[in-house]
Amino acid sequence: MSRKSPFNTAQNIFTDRDVFDVEGFQPKELIERDEQINEYASALEPVLNGWRPNNIFIYGKTGTGKTATTRYMLDWLRRDIEDHNEAGDDEIDLSIVYLNCEALTSSYQVAVELLNELRDEHEQVATRGHAPSDIYNWLFEELDEIGGVVLTVLDEVDNVGDDDTILYKLSRPEIENATLGVVGISNDFSFRDDLSAKVKDSLCEKEILFPAYGSEELREILFQRAEKGLHADAYDTAPVALSAAYAAQDKGSARQAIDILREAGDIARREDADEITEEHVEEAKGVVERGRVSEMIQGLSPHGQYALHALAIAERRDETPIRTKDLYEFYGSICNQHATDPLSARALRDHMSEIDLIGLATVDKKNAGRAGGKYKQYDLDVKVDRVVEAFAETDAVEVDETSYQSTL
């Protein structure tokens, strides 16, 4: 007796699902970022003459094409230099060191990771036990030994917070045989403003802003992916446009738009449908949003989760936007529920800034003049039900439904 496989291998929707992998797929042609590409090219062109590139600071929210554009430009830079060298002109020696700082929280950690990127496996340095001065000296020795033009790319560099030592050191390196350029990529618009004056002067020679995508731009990006990854008769304009519209209304994120269309394709395939419909997109939007919120909540520290939970309670009670001092009361009560001492009001503001950065809340700075002074107001930037569901699913915070109605 034959058994039926539980796997659905039908190919009626996707021709290549990997096209919808935001991290793994790099389009040969990058669209809807012409202005940023031109600015990037202008900043990097000195390298084609063997000169030091401009230090570049790039900023924009998640999903606005910063990393994709950087990879695209670096690929072109490598190819153009290869063509230049093959033509028999004065040879240009280019090395690119790319580091994602997502899990790094200090300049010291970034310096160690950069050093280990440049060293052989048997020469790796431990993350503890060395003086910072030694780490920087070894790093510059490695860079000097490489020689030529060295371009160091630090993605998500805002994770180092206000510790900008690494940026200052790299922008003014103590090396003789190499020419060093730095590209800093930040998801946080305010990160640049918090840099010390000396770092701004040297790092921010060229600045490139990546604004949120509009609905029409997201449509073009999705159609580019759909043409490469979906059967021609598996989609039409309506579901693609709806996926773009939902993402544009939310964060203007290409990542979110691509995720929604991919999930809609998965839903259609599971249902053995012949094409993706707007109903599939509606369902996919909820799936993607729940997954995004859950992932972000899990990435927060316990007190970051308590702060977000406090804001969700305030939102459910129609008490938002809410000032720090009022939010602190909700936060303190939640800490008591979890048998832990609340942090200071300043620490709460820091956690709320992080929650704003990842897109779950918005922070507005207010100035009420001499009478009211300066203060911050917070608002939830996703549906409160999504946050409550995510807390319940992840068990990150004990959810007491009565706290959403009763007085703390």
Binding residues for ATP: 64-68, 213, 225
Pick from 365, 375, 356: which is nearest to 188 by CA? Answer: 356
Crossing angle of the two packed helices 302-316 and 345-357, in degrees rounded to 10: 80
Contact predicate 375/366, CB 8 Å: yes
CB hemisphere CA count around 23 (13 angstroms): 1
Pick from 323, 326, 408, 308: which is nearest to 368 by CA? Answer: 323
Annotated binding site: 64-68, 213, 225
Backbone φ and ψ for 388, nearest 5 degrees, come out as -60, -45
Task: Show the 3-state SS of the chain.
Answer: CCCCCCCCCCCCCECCHHHHCCCCCCCCCCCCCHHHHHHHHHHHHHHHHCCCCCCEEEECCCCCCHHHHHHHHHHHHHHHHHHHHHCCCCCCCEEEEEEECCCCCCHHHHHHHHHHHHCCHHHCCCCCCCCHHHHHHHHHHHHHHHCEEEEEEEECHHHHCCCCHHHHHHHCCCCCCEEEEEEEEECCCCHHHHCCHHHHHHHCCEEEECCCCCHHHHHHHHHHHHHHHECHHHCCHHHHHHHHHHHHHHCCCHHHHHHHHHHHHHHHHHCCCCCCCHHHHHHHHHHHHHHHHHHHHHCCCHHHHHHHHHHHHHHHCCCCCEEHHHHHHHHHHHHHHCCCCCCCHHHHHHHHHHHHHCCCEEEEEEECHHHHCEEEEEEECCCHHHHHHHHHHHCCCCCCHHHHCCCC
